[in-house]
Amino acid sequence: MRHERELRLAGYQHIAGIDEVGRGSLAGPVVAAAVILPERHRIRGIREVEVIDKINILQATKLAMGEAVTRLTSAPDHLVIDALSLPYVDLPQRPIIDGDAISASIAAASIVAKVTRDRICAEFDERYPAYGFAVNKGYGTRRHYDALMSEGPCAWHRRSFAPIKMLLAGTQLPLDLVFDDLPLFDEYESEPLDDAFQVDPDEDWQAALG
């Protein structure tokens, strides 16, 4: 809570932590959350694949974050955000690199966003079972790439992302595919937080912060 304490000493009372999940995924929405501690105020913002493909993932992420902030029932007077700033939100802001590791407010927002997005991925896994969305959350695992090469992309895939764009252009994906920002990895290596925070965002998310 060091950042939060500093801001409270500076006179701010309602500090919202902001984070997102899903920026590097090949499929599905980007989900952001805003959380004000210690009150149990938390709101999600979601931008779907169509928006991501239209305006790019960074701008879609900022829109999702902005939506989460503006929908908070208790209006914040300062934001702490994981690595980003929101130019269209007229509030004081503090971008923090690796904020989910060093700010309790951002960590809480990360948990809420992740559990929300995991539930969405589980729903789409039932609709598109070949890709393993319930396990890989749309990220670039070997099973996911194998399914892309055998089945092609589904409606939930991001057409603007390099592997999907290559497939749609008729380019064969190499078996040892590695992109600088989308590395190939095994399913058991999928996001470290997948098993760490299986928390209901409407109940015990604060307990996960220890």
Query: Lowest mean pLDDT: which of 80-84, 141-145, 150-154?
Result: 141-145
CATH T-level assignment (fold) for domain 2-121:
Nucleotidyltransferase; domain 5 (3.30.420)
Domain boundaries, the chain: 2-121, 128-189
The CA distance from 48 to 152, in Å, is: 20
pLDDT at 7: 94
pLDDT at 203: 44
Tokens of 29: 């929405």
Identify the band that residue 92 occupies on the pLDDT scale cut at 50, 70 and 90: very high
142 vs 120, residue with greater confidence: 120
pLDDT at 177: 58
Residue 155 — left, alpha, or beta (φ > 0 → left; ψ -120 to 50 → alpha)?
alpha
Q: DSSP assignment of 141-163, as one string?
A: BHHHHHHHHHH---TTB-TTSHH
Task: Kindly compute the dihedral angle of the four CA atoms of residues 103, 105, 107, 111, in this order, to the nearest 10 degrees.
Answer: 180
Q: Quick: pLDDT tens for 51-67.
A: 999 999 999 999 999 99
**Average pLDDT of the residues of the chain:** 84
pLDDT at 42: 84
Average pLDDT for 145-159: 92
201 vs 138, residue with greater confidence: 138
The CA distance from 86 to 79, in Å, is: 9
Contact residues for 66 (Cβ-Cβ < 8 A; gap 6+): 45, 86, 88, 89
